[in-house]
Amino acid sequence: MTDANTRIDETVKNNDVVLFMKGTKQMPQCGFSSRVAGVLNYMGVEFMDVNVLADDEIRQGIKDYSDWPTIPQLYVKGEFVGGCDIVTEMTLSGELDALFEQNGVGFSKEAADKIREANA
């Protein structure tokens, strides 16, 4: 394993929810990262954010690690969930709620319901 791959692997396995994104959860630096971080923040999910813009090795390494070409990338309990479109679809369908519930990840069901109501 490369150094970047090892660091990514340890980050993903040692944190329940990880978002590899452009920017930070307080200051996203692209619309897609902002959308996913916004959903997680609104739902009250505790997550670790990894700013890929701060480290070129991680920026490329996460794409290799997941075999997924775009950022952001969401991981829950060590498993790759997807990028912005997948997370959006899962939020609107209720699949993200189910994933969090199955993995013991705390979130606001009320906030998730409000997102779905606003997008109905």
**Is 84 known as a binding-site position?**
no
What are the tokens at 110? 């009320």
What are the tokens at 120? 């109905």
Q: Where are the alpha helices (DSSP H) in the chain?
A: 3-14, 31-42, 56-66, 84-93, 95-102, 109-118
Q: State the DSSP H helix or E strand holding residue 74, giving kind and residue range, or none if neither.
A: strand 73-76
- Cα–Cα dist 45/107, whole Å: 5
Residue 85 CA to its chain's centroid (Å): 11
HSE-CB of 15 using CA atoms within 13 angstroms: 19
Binding site as annotated, residues: 30
Binding site as annotated, residues for [2Fe-2S] cluster: 30
